[in-house]
Chain A
Amino acid sequence: MAYSDKVMDHYENPRNVGTMDKEDKDVGTGMVGAPACGDVMKLQIKVSDDGVIEDAKFKTYGCGSAIASSSLLTEWVKGKTLDEASEIKNSDIAEELALPPVKVHCSVLAEDAIKAAIKDFQDKQ
């Protein structure tokens, strides 16, 4: 499988790898996918009092495209409001990373992850 330069870049130098305290009231956690399907993404966001995403961290078990999709997502959501972040579309991620059709599901998973993280944060408030 040939990967685009952008996928390779994120795969080799993943941004914002890490974990936040999921009990923290300001933190929203989204975990999507399943090991048997070959990918699991965990995305965490830290939201400021005025509803802006201050920080984002991820961990991903999955192929290079899954790792790149989640790494890119953490870059994109930082500084966005929750409303703005929830508007990120999987097709934007797929386009930015030049994902081939068989890898589009990785970008879908990333979109699911940010939606799940936002929902988790909102449920806590």
Chain B
Amino acid sequence: MKLPIYLDYSATTPVDPRVAEKMMQCLTMDGNFGNPASRSHSFGWSADEAVELARKQVADLVNCDPKEIIWTSGATESDNLAIKGAAHFYQKKGKHIITCKTEHKAVLDSCRQLEREGFEVTYLDPETNGLIDLAKLESAMREDTILVSIMHVNNEIGVIQDIDTMAELTRARGIIFHVDAAQSAGKVDIDLANSKVDLMSFSAHKIYGPKGMGALFVRRKPRVRLEAQIHGGGHERGLRSGTLPVHQIVGMGEAFRIAKEEMATENVRFAALRDRLYDGLKDIEETYVNGDMDKRITGNLNISFNYVEGESLIMAIKDLAVSSGSACTSASLEPSYVLRAIGRNDELAHSSIRFTIGRFTTEEEIDYTIKLLHNSIDKLRELSPLWDMFKEGIDLDSVKWAAH
């Protein structure tokens, strides 16, 4: 077993060797390096063929028409194109947008930009389990609402929103519905032919494809219109100009093909590993799972350990590559906005750890992780005056702290 152990598959994944192999075939002189837009020779034709095969592979995973897939540089760009593109195109119909406080920054900051341009945005509060109450979503919809953007799976707590029911609500009102599926594609079944989602963002590097590659699903029936955000040679039906990066596209296609083939068996394996991890940690006192445990992807476990400080915890478990709920790179500790939005206090938000399991995680790694966590939490609580006070039965909220 090699240290550190990688348990941060929601941050990014390594490229699958089968994907890397396909990508390498599209780079050098003896490979498929042509510009797919070159119509006058075989280099262009065969590059175009590879791009269209990949488009079909991506479409197949989510059951849509390949013509509905637009290549982008990642889910960030897809979110920007979907949200700004739809808002700009439909602004004569209205200027109100609905999203949720736990969305990825690519969605939240696109909405902030639109607010600066005169749009009005409602940021829904999720319930304490991280899920959106459909009645609250419905009651936020107005006459002038043109767009709703809700993520399928949350990147921090892994909870799965009921996007198909949401899509019924938006379609009935003629509102465009965008879904950020960066964390769900290849992990949760997506069936766009039988759903009313209008726009969906994908990323390649979350499912063993290359970084800097993504796609946006743009529904054709009924047709969804967008205003392009990047202008140039008119590639991708004018929605996203720029020479297509064939090796990246081929990598994304192969990654999505593999995901379609292996998703079901992988989910069984991940669930077993995740449950093993959870069973090994849940007997530690004062631990709290963040986010709904059932409506959750199999590879995610997000836990807060009370009375230990987040940064020292990360230090103690430096043999693990995991994400923490506190951004400890700056002087002002900023707790995770996702955990704050589901009602966790600052302390619990700071002391949270996100474990994400993936294709190359082993049982041995999980067992090592469990042991390391037990030792580290014991050690840090031994050092913690707050733990002593908790054990003495003192209510920490009643203490008057000498804040500095």
Chain A interface (Cβ within 8 Å of chain B)?
Answer: 1, 3, 11, 14, 17, 19, 31-42, 59-64, 66-67, 101-102, 105, 108-109, 112, 116
Contact = CB atoms under 8 A, between A and B. Distances in A.
A59 B404 contact: no
A60 B385 contact: yes
Q: Which of B315, B328, B329 has the most CB of A within 10 A?
A: B315
B401 A33 contact: yes
A31 B385 contact: yes
Nearest to B400: A34
Contact of A42 (B345, B347, B385): B385
B330 interface: yes
B383 A31 contact: no
B312 A33 contact: no
A62 B312 CA distance: 7
B311 A59 contact: no
B386 interface: yes
B333 interface: yes
B172 interface: no
Nearest to B313: A63
B308 A34 contact: no
A101 B312 CA distance: 18
Nearest to A108: B404
Contact of A17 (B350, B383, B403): B383
A35 to B, nearest CB: 5
Contacts of A64: 311-312, 315
A35 B396 contact: yes
Given A40-B386, A61-B383, 6 more contacts: A11-B315, A31-B385, A32-B404, A33-B404, A64-B315, A66-B312
A63 B311 contact: yes
A112 B402 CA distance: 10
Nearest to A31: B385
A33 B345 CA distance: 17
A14 B308 CA distance: 16
Contact of B328 (A1, A35, A67): A1
A60 to B, nearest CB: 6
B383 A36 contact: no
Contact of A37 (B307, B315, B328, B404): B404
Interface string B364-404: 00000000000000000011111110000000100001111
Contact of B331 (A61, A66, A102): A102
B48 interface: no
